[in-house]
Amino acid sequence: MSRRSRISSIADLIERDGQCRLTESAKHFAVSHVTANRTVARLKKSGLATSKPHGPIELTMAGFKLAEKSKRRHAIVLAFLVALGVSPAIARMDAEGIEHHVSDETLQHMQAYSKWKSTKPRSPKP
């Protein structure tokens, strides 16, 4: 799982629960407490998160900005895949991986295509 995905997931947990504790993070990522602790340590070292012993994980401003950027990228890729005719369920799964591997230029074209396609009548599925 990429750093962007981890940050986005922590932001989602904070939004959903009001906070993100290490145990909740470990459950969410389906990893051990030790692995989650190492992940948070790397995020802290990168300046994306903070935490105190036995306290919740908090995102720094840089962490929140990265999470928002990742969510925007995900939304663009998802809309693009749906505009191509991919079912929403499959598009959600595929967007998870694609969003991390496309350039900003490609994202701009995906977004432009999705907007253009939304103004056109629906065509039959193949």
CB of 23 within 8 A of CB of 33? yes
Residue 79 sits in the same domain as residue 113:
yes
Mean pLDDT of the chain: 91
126 within a domain of the structure (yes/no): no
Domain span at residue 21 reads 3-65
Name the DSSP letter for residue 18: S
pTM above threshold 0.75: yes
Residue 53 sits in the same domain as residue 84:
no
19 within a domain of the structure (yes/no): yes
Pairing status of strand 49-50 against strand 58-59? antiparallel
Residue 57 sits in the same domain as residue 82:
no
* pLDDT tens digit sequence for 64-85: 999 999 999 999 999 999 999 9
Residue 13 sits in the same domain as residue 36:
yes
Domain count, the chain: 2
* pLDDT tens digit sequence for 6-57: 898 999 999 999 999 999 999 988 999 999 999 999 999 999 999 998 899 9
In whole angstroms, give the CA distance from residue 89 to residue 12: 19
